[in-house]
């Protein structure tokens, strides 16, 4: 019985080591949904708002702009909200501002 438990524990440890863990930023998602409820109504709000693919180190134009004005892994909701507001006037590659799109209920990043 001890061997079975030891094998199970070792398996859990190995499994967690290879999955890489979650890097979710629930505070970012919550702040975004609170600040832009119109966007939340018609769109799926997830990591894709800032990250275009599976590699979360890759950022779209909105994620890149946000990363410039916020500390990495920021958890303070007020600081996150402030950072979201700071980048509203920045323009996407097509010349539209993030704020214009957000006020229209659209996701801010270009979809390339």
Sequence spans of domains, the chain:
24-103
The Cα–Cα gap between 91 and 7 comes to 54
Higher-scoring residue by pLDDT: 77, 11: 77
Q: What's the rounded Cα separation, in Å, for the pair 112 and 101?
A: 16
- Tens digits of residue pLDDT in 33-50: 999 999 999 899 999 999
pLDDT tens-place string over residues 20-29: 444 568 999 9
């Amino acid at each position: 019985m001890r061997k079975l438990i030891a094998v199970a524990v070792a398996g859990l440890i190995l499994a967690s080591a290879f999955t890489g863990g979650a890097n979710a930023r629930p505070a970012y998602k919550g702040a975004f949904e609170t600040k832009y409820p119109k966007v939340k109504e018609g769109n799926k709000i997830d990591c894709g708002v800032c990250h275009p693919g599976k590699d979360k180190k890759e950022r779209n134009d909105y994620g890149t702009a946000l990363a410039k004005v916020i500390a990495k892994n920021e958890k303070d909701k007020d600081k996150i909200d402030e950072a979201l507001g700071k980048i509203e006037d920045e323009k996407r590659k097509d010349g539209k501002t993030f704020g214009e799109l957000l006020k229209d209920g659209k996701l801010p990043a270009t979809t390339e």
